[in-house]
Structure 1
Amino acid sequence: MSATPVRATTNRTRHRRPVARGKRRSSVLTVLVWVTVLYFIVPLLWLVLSTTKDNAGLFTSFGLWFGESFAFFDNLAALFRFQDGIFAQWLLNTVGYAVIGSVGAAALATMCGYALAKYRFRGSGLVFNVILGSIMVPLTALAIPTYLLFAAGNLTDTPLAIILPSLVSPFGVYLMRVYAADAVDDSLLEAARIDGAGEFRIFRTVALRLLGPGIVTVLLFQLVATWNNYFLPLIMLNTPSYFPVTVGLAHWQNAAAAGGGGQVLFSTVLTGSFVSIVPLMIAFLFLQRYWQSGLATGGVKG
């Protein structure tokens, strides 16, 4: 009779120890997660709060709190009114460059990665190694050769000077090649060929459905890269009406900083920075649904 409580107590003791160790591990991970969250959230919080202040409030109030006056709507109106509302044109340019570049880059990377993963042809290994090596080349090192190439074709200071380089994504090709090698089973392709389907139809009806999460991943990477691109538009474009938001806001910032702030544009530039990231956040949250659902579906099938 007395052995039963002892055994129960012993069992309870055995069950407590792993829980305690698990709590210690989760505490460390929780601290790391919160540090990471603060690292990303604090600058965004500072930007949001700065858009609610006027130029004087930016320098007289605490950065992570509101100023004496709430000037967000005034800053917003000034943003779209300054220089005849050219910021709206910059925003439309950025959306056009990013959408065309990311969709085109995702399409080309998907086709190229799928071909390298599922077809065997002479020189495929060399092509893949060249693409892999090009990932290691910094984009700044390619800026001057790209400019000279486009200048020879009279394409500088045109939207094509931004769109065409954005269509090339070596990392996207590498990612889709690795993803397609595992996501698309060779037996499915063989079954489709036996049924009489052509290669393009197999790619369109079979492969694309399985490559969805990879396509969205490449799309997001290229969308962010093109949206935040600064150096290439800076050297390619001279006409302000072709500027993306990054270059346009940099010009305003330089005008504000020149001569001790001859043009007081600090609150306008900060408001423009905030407005410019809102479409990117919306696009990421919208595409993330398909990304996560595709990954979950692949995990269930696995």
Structure 2
Amino acid sequence: MSTVTDRATLDAPRASAARAAHANSAGEQKARRRGRSGRRISAVASVNGLLILGAAYMVLPLLWLVFAATKSTTGLYSGDAFAFGGEFIANLQHLLAQDDGIFLRWLANSILYAGVGAIVGGFIALMAGYAFDKFEFRGKRPLYAMVLVGVLIPNTATVIPLYLLAAAAGATNTIWAVIIPVLCNPFSVYLARVFSSGYLPGETLEAARVDGAGPIRSFLQVGLPMLVPGFVTIALFQFVGIWNNFMLPLIMLQNRELFPSSVGIALWQSQVQQNPEFSTLVIAGSFVSVVPLVIAFVMLQRFWRAGLSAGSVK
């Protein structure tokens, strides 16, 4: 009887210590869970906060442009910036009537430069990316390295050399001085190689060759239909880049009949100090210039969204 009592007496502190250790372990686990939960919440809040700031940075100027396009000259500099005015139709009429409707000519020039550059330049980039991905030839790696280096060089750094080349060829102050330089874009070639690698399996081309198709036929009849989403994505990037291009047409062109909308609006902006009435022309012209970009992205969104997702996965 005394032995059982002694054992109970000895086991009691051990059991108490075990319960205390278990309680401490459970407390530590809860503390760790609370810590992880707190860090997760703070990380989500930080990421969402950055996304909200980025979205505001991109959306607020466009939203202000929509409101400003409806205001008169006095309304632009007084009252609430994010409030509608009643001069939208009058501003558009003033815009289209200024200098015998030259803005429509500028808008048509922008569509010409951006459209030709996007379609022809995108097709050239697609062929180059396809060749870099599927063909083996001497100097492939050094040439592709030069393409990657070209991606790192800003477009403004090449404007003066391009102008000197165009002047030597007698092509300045012509549409070709703007169109030809934008037909080659290193970043588009890089994207085309990524899309070719992701969309076009080598086995498909090998099967086409077994059926007797040559390299050109394999590209046109097999590769090109499969690369349509990539081509649309590249063409949209080209279109937006050329549409927003400012330095190249500014340097190349002197005849304002050949100006794109970006240079034409900048010409009006330079006259605002002398004539404040030009401010409504600048705002209305900027608003109208955004519309083609929005239309292009909305109409082709199913293609470029698929293209972007394929490029990101690859």
Q: 1:71-109 deviations in whole A, cap 9, x for unaligned?
A: 011000000001111000000000010000011111000
Q: 1:31-79 deviations in whole A, cap 9, x for unaligned?
A: 333322222111011111111110011112222223xx51011000000
1:48 is matched with 66
1:245 is matched with 261
Larger Rg: 2
Name the SS for the 1:255 alignment partner.
coil
Distance in structure 2 (CA, Å) of the matches to 1:124 and 1:273: 43
2:208 is matched with 192
User: CA contact under 8 A between 1:212 and 1:291: conserved in structure 2?
Assistant: no
Shift of 1:174: 1.3
The change in CA–CA distance for 1:19 and 1:282 in structure 2 (over 3 A counts) is farther
Distance in structure 1 (CA, Å) of the matches to 2:208 and 2:39: 52
Matched letter for residue 284 of structure 1: F
The change in CA–CA distance for 1:116 and 1:38 in structure 2 (over 3 A counts) is same
* Deviation larger for 201-210 or 81-90: 201-210
* Deviation larger for 262-271 or 78-87: 262-271
Q: Which runs of 4+ in 1 moved over 6 A?
A: 16-24, 295-300
1:133 is matched with 149
Pairing of 1:147-158 with structure 2 (within 5 A): 147-158=163-174
Shift of 1:295: 6.3
Pick aligned residue for 2:116 from 100, 103, 111: 100
1:8 is matched with none
Q: 1:112-171 deviations in whole A, cap 9, x for unaligned?
A: 110111110111111111111122222222111111111111111011111101101111
Matched letter for residue 198 of structure 2: D
2:56 is matched with 38
Distance in structure 1 (CA, Å) of the matches to 2:74 and 2:194: 53
Name the SS for the 2:71 alignment partner.
coil
Distance in structure 1 (CA, Å) of the matches to 2:81 and 2:250: 30
User: CA contact under 8 A between 2:148 and 2:190: conserved in structure 1?
Assistant: yes
User: CA contact under 8 A between 1:184 and 1:207: conserved in structure 2?
Assistant: yes
Name the SS for the 1:155 alignment partner.
coil
Distance in structure 2 (CA, Å) of the matches to 1:263 and 1:240: 21
Name the SS for the 2:188 alignment partner.
helix
The change in CA–CA distance for 1:140 and 1:24 in structure 2 (over 3 A counts) is closer
User: CA contact under 8 A between 2:67 and 2:82: conserved in structure 1?
Assistant: yes
1:80 is matched with 96
Scaled by the length of structure 2, the TM-score of the pair is 0.83
Aligned CA-pair RMSD:
2.5
Distance in structure 1 (CA, Å) of the matches to 2:80 and 2:101: 30
Report the count of equivalent residues: 283
Pick aligned residue for 1:262 from 271, 275, 288: 275
2:77 is matched with 59
1:10 is matched with none
Matched letter for residue 269 of structure 1: V
The change in CA–CA distance for 1:104 and 1:281 in structure 2 (over 3 A counts) is same
Pick aligned residue for 2:246 from 221, 227, 230: 230
| Percent of residue pairs identical | 43
